[in-house]
């Protein structure tokens, strides 16, 4: 039986992309919450949610990903939650790095790259399978 992994917050104004990411991440065993902009994400986090990572689009209406990240970093209760940015514009990566974002995924989203970045932040190493090793005695 597969174990449930840590929760993830998906923040993107593209409903189709949110739905697809939610389905993929749930298939991988993660709990997923999703919202359509940075203001909604702040409300979710300030209500007590503690995801292992935030998947965050940079360009969104109402509050974009960069504005969200600046607000997040001002709030000590949620400042340490890591974020992975989605962007179709590589020029936005430098600003993301200044905001403490180490990972970004280019749009269109490369699912393998995304899952590797999520695993980096969310997977408990004790849950991962150990590679099978040959016995030293034969």
User: In the chain, where are the structural domains located?
Assistant: 5-123
Q: Indicate the SS3 state at residue 76.
A: coil
pLDDT for residue 5: 63
CB neighbour list of residue 30: distance below 8 Å, 6 or more residues apart: 4, 5, 6, 7, 8, 118, 122
Instruction: Tell which residue, 75, 94, 85, has the closest CA to residue 12.
Output: 85
pLDDT for residue 99: 86
Place of tokens 């974020």: 83
Q: 49 — phi, psi (to 5°)?
A: -65, 140
pLDDT for residue 4: 56
Per-residue pLDDT of the chain (138 residues; tens, 9 = 90+): 445 567 999 999 999 999 999 999 999 999 999 999 999 999 999 999 999 999 999 989 999 999 999 999 999 999 999 999 988 777 877 888 888 887 888 878 888 989 999 999 998 544 343 333 333 444
Both tokens of residue 84?
């992975």
Instruction: Tell which residue, 58, 36, 40, 62, has the closest CA to residue 49.
Output: 40
The pTM score is: 0.82
pLDDT for residue 41: 97
CATH class of 5-123: alpha beta
Q: What angle do CA 68, 70, 94 make, to 5 degrees?
A: 100
Burial of 131 (0-12, 13-18, 19+ CB in 10 A): exposed
């Amino acid at each position: 039986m597969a174990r449930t992994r840590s929760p993830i917050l998906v923040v993107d104004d593209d409903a189709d992309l949110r739905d697809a990411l939610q389905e993929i991440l749930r298939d991988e065993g993660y709990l997923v919450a999703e919202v359509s902009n940075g203001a909604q994400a702040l409300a979710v986090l300030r209500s007590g949610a503690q995801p292992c990572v935030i998947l965050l689009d940079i360009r969104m209406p109402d509050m974009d990903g960069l504005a969200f990240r600046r607000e997040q970093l001002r709030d000590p209760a949620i400042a340490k939650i890591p974020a992975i940015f989605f962007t179709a514009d590589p020029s936005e990566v430098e600003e993301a790095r200044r905001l403490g974002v180490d990972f970004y995924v280019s749009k269109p989203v490369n699912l393998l790259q995304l899952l590797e970045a999520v695993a980096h932040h969310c997977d408990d190493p004790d849950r991962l399978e150990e590679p099978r090793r040959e016995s030293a005695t034969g």
